[in-house]
Structure formats: structure tokens, C-alpha cells
Structure 1
Amino acid sequence: MTAPLDAPESAQKAEPEAITEGVRNTANRSLRQIAWQRFKRDKVAMAGGVVVILLILTAILAPVLTKLFGYPPNEFHQNLIDPLTGGVLNDPNDPMSGLDKTGGISGDHLLGLEPVNGRDLFSRIVYGAQISLLVAFCATLLCVFIGTVLGIVAGYFGGWVDTVISRAMDIFLAFPLLLFAIALAGVIPDGAFGLTGNGLRVGVLIFIIGFFNWPYIGRIVRGQTLSLKEREFVEAARSLGASNTHILFRELLPNLVTPILVYSTLLIPTNIIFEASLSFLGVGINPPTPSWGGMLSNSLQYYTTSPHFVIIPGLAIFITVLAFNLLGDGLRDAFDPRSSD
């Protein structure tokens, strides 16, 4: 659309100059800056990212939060529990006062108390976040490391190297991971590799989840590498005499950061659920160390008298997994807008 003929010359030039300025501003921004602008417009993904940050801060500051708003996670409060039913009493000074329908939620116990033991649920949820996020993040890092290295090597070199790695991926993908994890965790000795107790349990969970899940990201990296290795910048690096190592880790790897980052954010909630499942089945974190899956397992027999004991750890898992999924979807749409079409 052009300006009217009788308009001043400055008005006729205003629109082309505005278009040119917009194109110039877009050209001056990097792909990451453009992706960040897209991500900021996705309010749902931004909300997921805020929740993820709050969860991470909660896990890191668990000892501080417990001192400020709760009690030690393994401290019993038997005087608040009905010895017959195991529920939380309305009035600890009157055993005939009946059960508290809120589960003991008060200013002293923000999320109430566990039945029977009377442990503070707030502190146990907060410390449970440490276990879930620690296992999920470390397992994801191990998975991403193995999958990225093997995927990029398979895609770049091809031939028999690609065949061997691809068949290994097929074998790992066909492996019954949950059954193997249950069997392996069930036969772990009390001490091994210089670790004991839950330190050993956490290490084994990280190894099982990370080592046996790498083919998922390995396939993504391999497919992207097959496409990138035919691009002009790789041919230019070869013509300049660059080594294979330089091409792999200086030319190809920086261009794979985006899909690796997006897939990692989608893999973390899967690992959180996996750890919670093992703890729920009794082969994950040993009690009395708090774990969301273990808390859910212990709560099933009290769901009629103390429903809060079931709802609170279930909500913790639900909110955490949902937040990471929303964040991952937002990052995927920001870095690849065509995926949302």
C-alpha cells in the first residue's frame, strides 16, 4: 500500500523506511534471540519455566525452608496422632475430639502430618524434591552424553560404525527397562563401589535410567547429523583440512544444541516418573529418606482416613511433570515454529 500522491514526501518515505528498519532489526538478532522472543510470547511455557525454577530452588533450599516453615522430615509427632486409627487428632489434649479432616494442616504444619508416624509432610515433600530432581537431572545428563556422542559418531561416519551403533540402539530399545531396574535394584548389596545405603541406590538409579535410555536421544542426534554433514559449512571445513574431531565437536555439535536441549527438557519428567515408580514399588530410595513415590506407596492404606497423604505427593509429581512438559513444548515451538503448525 502506497501513500497518497498529495501526501508530503516524508510521509511517502515513512512506510518503506519502517519496513527496512524492521528487517534490519530482525537481521541483527541471532537465532537464539529470535527463539527467546517467541518463547516469551508463549505464556503457558513461561509459566512452566517459572514453576521449574521454583522447584529447583525449593530442592536446593530444602534445609532452609524446613527450618523456617516446618520440622525435620524424620521427626515424629506421636502426640498429635490417634493411636487407634493412626489419623491426626483435632485436639491433641482430648483423644475423644475425633480426627482432623484436613490432616493436621496448620501454621506449624503447612501440609499436615503423616498418619501413624506424624511426620511433617511439608518437609518430606521438600526433601523428596531433592531426590526426584537429583536422579532426573543426573540420569538425563548421562543419557544425553552417551546418546549425543554415539549418535553424532554414527551419523557422521556411517558405514559399519553406523550399523553397529544403530543395532545397539535397537537392542537397548527392546530391553525391558522397568523389569531390569526392579531386578537389579532388588539384588543390590548394602555397599558397593565405595557407596552405601541410599547413596548407592541413587547411583544405581542414575546409571540404570541414563545408560538404558540413551538410544532415544541417540536416534534424534543421528538423524540430525545425517542432514547436517551434507551442509556447505561442513564441506568448507573439510576443504580447509579440518580433522574429523574438529568437524564433529566444533562444526556439528553447536548446531545440535537446540534439539538436544529441547529433548532433554522432555526427558526429565519421564525420568522423574521412573524414579517415583521404582520407589513406589519398594525398590527405589530406602526409607526413611523422603521420596514422592515412596510416600504414595505408604499412603494407599490411609486414603479413606487421611486423603491428604495421597493427594499431596501425587500433586507434587503431577505439577513437576506438567511444568517440565510445558517448558519442553514451549522450547520446541520457539526453536522450530514449524512444529506447531
Structure 2
Amino acid sequence: MTAPIETTGSQADAQPEAVLKGVEARRIEGRSLGQIAWTRFKRDKIAVVGGIVVVLLILVAALSRPLQALLGLDPNAFHQDLIDPNTSLPKGDFGGMSWDHPLGVEPKFGRDILARILEGSWVSLVVAFGATLLSVVIGTVMGLVAGYYGGRVDTVVSRLMDTFLAFPLLLFAIAISATLQGGAFGLEGLPLHISVLIFVIGFFNWPYMGRIVRGQTLALREREFVDASRGMGAGGPYILFKELLPNLVAPIIVYSTLLIPTNILFEASLSFLGVGIQPPQASWGGMLNEAVDFFQVDPQYMIVPGLAIFITVLAFNLLGDGLRDALDPRSR
């Protein structure tokens, strides 16, 4: 006579139905492409740090006016009592740093450096994001059309890209910005300066995005899903924007994050040369321009805006590199 089967004990001795029920409860779930890319991105600690810095910079730029009000700062307030009348330099050590002016004050006028850095942050990011958006829209449309239709259309668009790339962009931007300083298109002052910078930087930089989108489209147009769409009677616009464009989101996002720091540097360069954002509006490039006469005796006024530009550009570049590796690991 056999002994009865034990019904108590460890999980290994449990009935088959109970074991299968536990396995089903712990069933492995599939992951989407976005979840896989996010997992890869999180492994890149440097890119994560860059992303955190970018988020903080965007928050500072968006809340620059409330932060100034909270700290009691005014970017255009003169503090002549903090300036030595004999040397035009801030009184005290380290550029006049104090509890009221944590980063000191600028020479000659005594305006608070922290307030001007905060005020210039939103100007730089607005111009950079606006110009990047314009470049991405034009470049994506032109690249899609050239890559998909090919033939004469591709030839015309490609030669147009070469023409724009051959322009001496900096000289052209200086000429346009200087011509439109007074007023144009019903705009004047700061709105005009920002609009001109967005147009000049974004309109003449679209070929860089266009070349990338064109190259990707040339590869995608031979894929089976495009042939299937053609076989079902889909027209060109539908295939371009419903089939091809969703497959180009990853390279567009990556290149956009790498284009933003370039546009920040371009805006700072134009403001430094005096044809970008005009005073008294604060901008990082304008602060560097005003610091030229004092950097040998008061380098802090040049170091602070220079560091702001350096950290911003570095953070966006690190974020862009991390996104590229996460979204397209084969490119590493």
C-alpha cells in the first residue's frame, strides 16, 4: 500500500494547478520601443545629467521673471553707489559680490549680473527653440519630398540645399539684422529682434536637417510597408506623412537636440557683434560684448555669461548624444 501524497510543505510540493497559476501571475510583459530606448538612456549617466541640467535651464528660463521678482532683482536697475567713480569698477572683492548681489554687479553701470543672466536665459532659449523648430519643419518637408520622389525633384531640392549651404551665413545674418533694426512687418523693439533672429538662423540652417531626412527617406522608400501602401492606392502625401514621417521621429529628435546648442551659440555671436538682441534687453552675447573693455581688470563679468553659454551648450550636446545612442544603438 502506497503512502498518501503530502499536500503541505514547500512550493515545489504544491499541486500543478497552483504552480501554473503563480507562473501566470508573474508572466513577463513585453516592452515597447520607447521603453527599450528609455532603459538604454538611463544607463548613460552622463546623458541623464545633461538631461537634468537641460530641464533645469528650461525651468529657469520659463520662470526667470518670477524668480527676479522673488529675489528682488532688476536687470536694468543701476547701482552707482556700488561703483568706484575713479575706476568704474565694482567696490569690494570678487566683482562686488554680496548677499544682495550673489554674482556681483557689472562695471560702469552696476547692474546685477544674476538678474541679467536670468533675463538673458529666456531670450537665448526662445531664439534657439524657435529657430530649431523652423529649421526642422522646413528641412523635414524638403527632405521627405526629395528622398521620396527622387529624379528631378531630388535634383532641384539638393541643389537648393547646396546653395543655402554655400551662403556666408554669418555675414548674411549681420546684414539682415542690421537692416531691420528700426522696425519691419509691424514689429519693433524686442519682438522684432527675436523674430529676425529666429528667421535668419532657422531659415538658413534647414539644409542640415534636410540632408539627414533625405538620406533616411531614400532608405525607407524601398521598404515593404511603403510598397504595401502604394499597392492599396495611397497617394504621395499620405505615404510621406503617415508612413515615412513616423519612422523618422527618432533621427529628427536627436538632431534637433544637437541643433539647439548651435543656435544658442549663433544668437550669442550675433548679440556679441551688436546686431542681435539690442540693449537694454539683457542677453548672454550682449553681456560678453559689454565685458570686453573690463575683462582684464574685472574678468568675472565675462566669466559668468561665458559659463552660462558653456554649460547650456554642453548639456544639450550630452543629451543629444545620449538620445542618439538610445534611439539608434547601431550608430555607436
TM over 0.5: yes
User: Map of 1:145-224 to 2, 5 A cutoff?
Assistant: 145-224=137-216
Q: Which residue of 2 aligns with 1:329?
A: 321
User: Map of 1:134-149 to 2, 5 A cutoff?
Assistant: 134-149=126-141
Q: Which residue of 2 aligns with 1:270?
A: 262
Taking the aligned partners of 2:71 and 2:298, their CA distance within structure 1 comes to: 22
Taking the aligned partners of 2:209 and 2:82, their CA distance within structure 1 comes to: 49
Taking the aligned partners of 1:157 and 1:339, their CA distance within structure 2 comes to: 27
Q: Which residue of 2 aligns with 1:58?
A: 60
Taking the aligned partners of 2:193 and 2:32, their CA distance within structure 1 comes to: 43
Q: Any conservation in 1 of the 2:181–2:193 contact (CA below 8 Å)?
A: no
Q: Any conservation in 1 of the 2:272–2:286 contact (CA below 8 Å)?
A: yes
Taking the aligned partners of 2:66 and 2:178, their CA distance within structure 1 comes to: 34
Report sequence identity in percent: 65
| Shift of residue 67, structure 1, vs aligned partner | 1.6
What whole-Å deviation, never above 9, does each CA across 1:161-213 have from its counterpart, x for those lacking one?
A: 11100000000011100010111112224111010012111111110111000
Taking the aligned partners of 1:251 and 1:198, their CA distance within structure 2 comes to: 41
> Could you tell me the TM-score, scaled by structure 1's length?
0.88
Taking the aligned partners of 2:181 and 2:194, their CA distance within structure 1 comes to: 13
| Shift of residue 70, structure 1, vs aligned partner | 4.3
- Could you list the runs of 5+ residues in structure 1 that have no partner in the other structure? 1-7, 11-17, 90-99
Q: Which residue of 1 aligns with 2:226?
A: 234
Taking the aligned partners of 1:314 and 1:61, their CA distance within structure 2 comes to: 21
User: Map of 1:111-150 to 2, 5 A cutoff?
Assistant: 111-150=103-142
Q: Which residue of 2 aligns with 1:31?
A: 33
Say which SS state the counterpart of residue 286 (structure 1) adopts. Answer: coil
| Shift of residue 112, structure 1, vs aligned partner | 0.8
Does 1:72 pair with 2:64?
Answer: no
* TM-align CA RMSD: 1.7
Q: Which amino acid is 2:54 matched to?
A: V
Q: Any conservation in 2 of the 1:70–1:122 contact (CA below 8 Å)?
A: no
The runs of at least 4 consecutive aligned structure 1 residues that moved more than 6 Å come to: none
Q: Which residue of 1 aligns with 2:277?
A: 285
Q: 1:54 to 1:189 in 2, by over 3 A?
A: closer
What whole-Å deviation, never above 9, does each CA across 1:105-153 have from its counterpart, x for those lacking one?
A: 1211121101110101111001101110000000000000000000001
Taking the aligned partners of 1:253 and 1:284, their CA distance within structure 2 comes to: 34
Q: Any conservation in 2 of the 1:205–1:275 contact (CA below 8 Å)?
A: yes
Q: Which residue of 1 aligns with 2:47?
A: 45
